[in-house]
């Protein structure tokens, strides 16, 4: 977990970000970096806006009518919300895994090949499918039934398929919105192992409700809180070890020790 | 202690037993009410079917203008005639004009026995319906029918199935024994085809726009409200719109006059095209609403997962949203078309023909449809028309039943494919 001295380049960064839904301010003044080939975890009580911040990282909030963002979100040094930025291209480079496993109601093979195909992939699809499934630690379980409908897999397998699907278009960053919250402990353990393997190749940002999970998989942790107007703010951001063992704020300490949340 | 206190407030054992009895009883009363509501609905439907079926079968008292025995001594009906007798009777008794026309179409000697029998019955024997009885009377009160035949010189009793294959393929006629629904059936099919071609692409397109693209603005909300209102507008008002717009204002188009190919046309815009367009307008809001409901039922997570791998909005709609909703869209469309198939009022208003015996051949033809035909027959006073109206009703019901079961089959098949569970 102490990778702080390795090459530390912020692949993404938030700077003074406010997000509104209509007249409601969801989060206020968020600033934090996300380092390349590291795992950044967002934790905090319900309604603190951590998922909102996560979705702003690949412009998923654009889908929600009335959402507005102020401040700066950068990806590889470029403004993510710049005037000439195509959100479709953003999502192609910054993949996403959702809370509930949501494979396409198609074959396992097609789940992975489709994203690559619509993005103009010109290589060998069989190879791509195999590589992606191997990386997502799912290949051995499904290699004999690639034509089978993905919805017949178990929940944990479906979630790893969704990770394989995200990997298949070679993104640089993978966003995960509570990827294990709908899974049983064994499947959760698998996903956590997988995250640790994946950070060799990708930069990962994960939202989680599970303190243990954050401490096991992440290198950096951002703790969000919610104020009396139900607006979320960043309470504390630090290396995970430091935040869990030696939190600076009383709120952080209370939250990670389970006093509220 | 506090807990105990609250517990006692629910009463002792006998009070609780009494209370649950009361609750159960009121549940039973509602249960019984719901059962009787269902039973009543079923009863009414059965009554409808029984009354229609009752008119489709039954005795008819017929009277011939010329008795077969007068043509060939000893013969009781035309079917007793031998081949030679058929030919000679036809040659001798057909009027000169009809004989010439018949010979010109196909010489007597080359016609089949059945064909000659039909000719002789139609032009020489000329049976006429005196009275008809329903199935129930025919089975239970046969003596009434027999007494009627006794009382009427030269009349005889036959048991008729008014919904015979001949009824389905015959064209319209003033004689209920010869009339059929072919013209009306073809008219209905043509109209439905036009309605589908107009309403389906426009309706689905509008629904996709409203559901997937349109922002939640005041204008769009008003649009949505008006579509709901339009779906509740009485159909006769669509008829008035169709009359003003398609029959009158767009007459050169709907009568085919601007297309050089169609010259001989007396429909003046009261064509299949006008009728189909009018019914298209009628079902358009229904198709839009059905399709919107179908699109709403597609979970947002599916859209999100497509966007998540870098799909554009159109790719998301085309590859995921539409395949996931196509079953509901098609079901809704077929049900909307079933409604159009049964519509009478708007077509009467735009001036559908009530009596034509020429099959519609293109979209600029005059037309009549099954419901119009039924309406027209049931308005006639003579009893036999009631029987053929009932027969046409059964034919229409069967057609609707086929369409609706197709809708259900499509939905089940596509839904199963979508789930793909084992």
Rg (CA), chain A: 18
**B311 and A118: CB-CB below 8 Å?**
yes
Query: For B20-63, what is each residue's pLDDT tens digit?
Result: 899 999 999 999 999 999 999 999 999 999 999 998 998 888 88
**A63 and B422: CB-CB below 8 Å?**
no
Chain centroid offset of residue B198 CA: 19
Residue B105 bridge partners (DSSP): none
A113: three-class secondary structure by DSSP: helix
Structural tokens at position B169: 């393929």
Cα A159 to Cα A154: distance, rounded to the nearest angstrom = 9
Structural tokens at position B110: 């080359």
**A92 and B418: CB-CB below 8 Å?**
no
**B320 and A151: CB-CB below 8 Å?**
no
Closest residue, chain A, to B313 (C-alpha): A88
Which one of A89, A102, A114 has the shortest CB-CB distance to B301?
A102
**B215 and A119: CB-CB below 8 Å?**
no
Contacts of A89 in chain B (CB under 8 A): 310
Which one of B305, B319, B420 has the shortest CB-CB distance to A102?
B305
Structural tokens at position B338: 């079933």
Cα A206 to Cα A192: distance, rounded to the nearest angstrom = 11
Structural tokens at position B219: 């204008």
Chain centroid offset of residue A8 CA: 19
**B309 and A58: CB-CB below 8 Å?**
no
How long a stretch of residues is chain B? 422
Contacts of B420 in chain A (CB under 8 A): 105, 149, 151-152
DSSP β-ladder status, A39-43 and A220-226: parallel
In the predicted structure, residue B4 carries a pLDDT above the cut 70: no
How many Cβ atoms sit within 10 Å of the Cβ of residue B217? 10
Q: Listing from the earlier edge strand, what are the strands of the sheet with B127-132?
A: B127-132, B57-64, B155-161
pLDDT at A144: 93
Indicate the pLDDT class of residue B413, thresholds 50, 70 and 90.
Answer: confident
pLDDT at B270: 86
Closest residue, chain A, to B316 (C-alpha): A118
- Residue closest to A158 by CA, chosen among A174, A138, A143: A138
**A98 and B304: CB-CB below 8 Å?**
yes
Cα A215 to Cα A229: distance, rounded to the nearest angstrom = 29
Put simply, the chain A residues between 163 and 202 with a CB less than 8 A from any chain B CB are 165-166, 168-169
Better pLDDT: B148 or B238: B238
Which one of B301, B302, B310 has the shortest CB-CB distance to A92?
B310
**B309 and A118: CB-CB below 8 Å?**
yes
pLDDT at B237: 94
A105 to chain B, any CB pair closer than 8 A? The answer is yes
A95 to chain B, any CB pair closer than 8 A? The answer is yes
A211: three-class secondary structure by DSSP: helix
Q: Are B309 and A166 in contact (CB under 8 A)?
A: yes
Q: Are B56 and B391 in contact (CB under 8 A)?
A: yes
Structural tokens at position B215: 């922002």
Which one of A118, A151, A168 has the shortest CB-CB distance to B315?
A118
Q: Are B399 and B341 in contact (CB under 8 A)?
A: yes
CATH class of the domain comprising A10-256? alpha beta
Query: For B199-216, what is each residue's pLDDT tens digit?
Result: 999 999 999 999 999 988
Alpha helices per DSSP H over A84-123: 87-93, 108-118
Task: Report percent pLDDT > 90 for chain B.
Answer: 42
What is the separation, in whole angstroms, between the first and last Cα of chain A? Answer: 25
Closest residue, chain B, to A114 (C-alpha): B309
How would you write the pLDDT of chain A (261 residues) with one tens digit per residue? Answer: 444 445 688 999 999 999 999 999 999 999 999 999 999 999 999 889 999 999 999 999 888 888 999 999 999 989 999 998 999 999 999 999 999 999 999 999 999 999 999 999 999 999 999 999 999 989 999 999 999 999 999 999 999 999 999 999 999 999 999 999 888 898 899 899 999 999 999 999 999 988 999 999 999 999 999 999 999 999 999 999 999 999 999 999 999 888 776
State whether ipTM is beyond 0.85: yes
Cα A175 to Cα A163: distance, rounded to the nearest angstrom = 10
Please give, rounded to a whole number of angstroms, the shortest distance from the CA of A60 to a CA of chain B.
8
Which one of A89, A96, A151 has the shortest CB-CB distance to B308?
A96
Q: If you average pLDDT over residues B166-191, what whole number do you get?
A: 88
Contacts of A163 in chain B (CB under 8 A): none
Domains and CATH numbers, chain B: 54-161 (no CATH), 182-419 (1.10.3720.10)
Cα B414 to Cα B334: distance, rounded to the nearest angstrom = 15
Task: Provide residues of B within 8 Å CB-CB of chain A.
Answer: 215-216, 299, 301-312, 315, 319-320, 324, 418-422
How long a stretch of residues is chain A? 261
Instruction: Find tokens 């949203």 and name the residue.
Output: B321
pLDDT at B366: 85
Q: Quote the mean pLDDT of chain B.
A: 87
Backbone angles phi, psi at B360, to 5 degrees: -65, 135
Q: Are B194 and B281 in contact (CB under 8 A)?
A: no
Contacts of B299 in chain A (CB under 8 A): 102
Query: For A17-28, what is each residue's pLDDT tens digit?
Result: 999 999 999 999
How many Cβ atoms sit within 10 Å of the Cβ of residue B226? 11
Work out how many CB contacts closer than 8 A connect A with B: 72
Contacts of A169 in chain B (CB under 8 A): 309-310
Q: Are A233 and A29 in contact (CB under 8 A)?
A: yes
Our CA dihedral for A41, A45, A47, A50, rounded to 10 degrees, sits at -10
Please give, rounded to a whole number of angstroms, the shortest distance from the CA of B324 to a CA of chain A.
8
DSSP β-ladder status, A94-97 and A173-177: parallel
* 3-state SS track over chain B: CHHHHHHHCCCCHHHHHHHHHHHHHHHHHHHHHHHHHHHHHHHHHHHHHHHHHHHHEEEEEEEECCCHHHHCCCCCCHHHCCHHHHHHHHHHHCCHHHHHHHHHHCCHHHCCHHHHHHHHHHHHHCEEEEEECCHHHHHHCHHHHHHHHHHCCCEEEEEEECCCHHHHHCCCCCCCCCCCCHHHHHHHHHHHHHHHHHHHHHHHHHHHHHHHHCCCCHHHHHHHHHHHHHHCCCHHHHHHHHHHHHHHHCHHHHCCCCCCCCCCCCCCCCCHHHHHHHHHHHHHHHHHHHHHHHHHCCCHHHHHHHHHCCCCHHHHHHHHHHHHHHHHHHHHHHHHHHHHHHCCHHHHHCCCCCCCCCCCCCCCCCCCCHHHHHHHHHCCCCHHHHHHHHHHHHHHHHHHHHHHHHHHHHHHHHHHHHHCCC
Closest residue, chain A, to B310 (C-alpha): A92
- Residue closest to B391 by CA, chosen among B161, B159, B172: B161
Q: Are B173 and B260 in contact (CB under 8 A)?
A: no
- DSSP H or E stretch at residue A195: helix A185-198
């Amino acid at each position: 977990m102490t990778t702080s001295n390795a090459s530390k380049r912020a692949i993404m960064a938030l700077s003074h970000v406010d997000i509104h839904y209509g007249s409601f301010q969801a989060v206020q003044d968020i600033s934090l970096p996300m380092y390349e080939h590291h795992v950044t975890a967002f934790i905090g009580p319900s309604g603190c806006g951590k998922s909102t911040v996560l979705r702003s990282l690949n412009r998923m909030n654009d889908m929600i009518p009335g959402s507005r963002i102020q401040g700066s979100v950068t990806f590889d040094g470029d403004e993510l919300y710049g005037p000439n930025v195509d959100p479709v291209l953003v999502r192609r480079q910054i993949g996403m895994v959702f809370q509930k496993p949501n494979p396409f109601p198609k074959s396992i093979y097609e789940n992975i090949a489709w994203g690559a195909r619509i993005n103009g992939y010109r290589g060998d699809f069989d190879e791509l499918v195999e590589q992606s499934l191997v990386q997502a630690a799912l290949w051995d379980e499904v290699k004999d039934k690639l034509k089978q409908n993905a919805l017949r897999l178990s929940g944990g397998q479906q979630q790893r398929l969704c990770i394989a699907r995200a990997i298949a278009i070679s993104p640089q960053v993978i966003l995960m919105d509570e990827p294990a919250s709908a899974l049983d402990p064994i499947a959760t353990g698998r996903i956590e192992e997988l995250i640790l393997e994946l950070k060799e190749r990708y930069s990962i940002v994960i939202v989680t409700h599970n303190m243990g999970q954050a401490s096991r998989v992440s290198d950096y942790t951002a703790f969000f809180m919610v104020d009396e107007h139900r607006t979320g703010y960043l309470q504390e951001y630090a290396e995970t070890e430091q935040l869990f063992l030696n939190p600076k704020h009383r709120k952080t300490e209370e939250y990670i020790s389970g006093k509220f949340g | 202690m506090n807990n105990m206190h609250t517990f006692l407030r629910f009463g002792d054992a006998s009070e609780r037993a009494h209370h649950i009895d009361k609750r159960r009883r009121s549940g039973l009363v509602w249960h019984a009410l719901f059962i009787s509501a269902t039973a009543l609905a079923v009863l009414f439907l059965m009554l409808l079917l029984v009354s229609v079926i009752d008119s489709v079968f039954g005795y008819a008292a017929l009277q011939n203008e010329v008795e077969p025995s007068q043509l060939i001594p000893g013969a009781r009906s035309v079917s007793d005639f031998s081949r030679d007798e058929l030919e000679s009777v036809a040659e001798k008794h057909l009027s000169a004009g009809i004989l010439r026309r018949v010979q010109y179409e196909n010489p007597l000697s080359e016609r089949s026995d059945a064909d000659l029998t039909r000719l002789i019955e139609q032009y020489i024997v000329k049976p006429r319906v005196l009275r008809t009885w329903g199935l129930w009377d025919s089975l239970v009160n046969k003596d009434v029918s027999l007494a009627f035949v006794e009382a009427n010189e030269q009349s005889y009793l036959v048991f008729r199935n008014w919904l015979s294959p001949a009824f389905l393929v015959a064209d319209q006629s003033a004689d209920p024994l010869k009339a059929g629904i072919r013209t009306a059936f073809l008219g209905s099919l043509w109209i439905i085809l036009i309605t589908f071609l107009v309403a389906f692409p426009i309706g689905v397109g509008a629904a996709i726009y409203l559901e997937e693209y349109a922002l939640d603005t005041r204008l769009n909300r008003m649009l949505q409200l008006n579509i709901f209102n339009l779906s509740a507008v009485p159909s006769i008002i669509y008829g008035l719109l169709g009359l003003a717009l398609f029959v009158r204002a767009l007459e050169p188009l709907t009568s085919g006059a601007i297309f050089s190919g169609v010259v001989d046309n007396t429909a003046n815009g009261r064509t299949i095209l006008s009728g189909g367009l009018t019914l298209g307008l009628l079902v358009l809001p229904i198709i839009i609403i059905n399709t919107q409901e179908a699109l709403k039922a597609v979970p947002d997570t599916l859209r999100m997962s497509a966007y998540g791998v870098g799909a554009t909005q159109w790719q998301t709609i085309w590859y995921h949203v539409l395949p996931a909703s196509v079953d509901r869209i098609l079901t809704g469309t077929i049900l909307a078309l079933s409604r159009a198939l049964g519509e009478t009022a708007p077509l009467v208003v735009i001036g559908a023909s009530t009596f034509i015996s020429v099959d519609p051949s293109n979209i600029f033809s005059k037309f009549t449809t099954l419901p119009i035909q039924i309406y027209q027959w049931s308005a006639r006073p003579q009893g036999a028309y009631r029987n053929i109206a009932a027969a046409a009703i059964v034919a229409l019901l069967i057609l609707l039943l086929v369409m609706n079961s197709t809708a259900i089959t499509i939905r089940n098949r596509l839904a199963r494919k979508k789930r793909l569970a084992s």
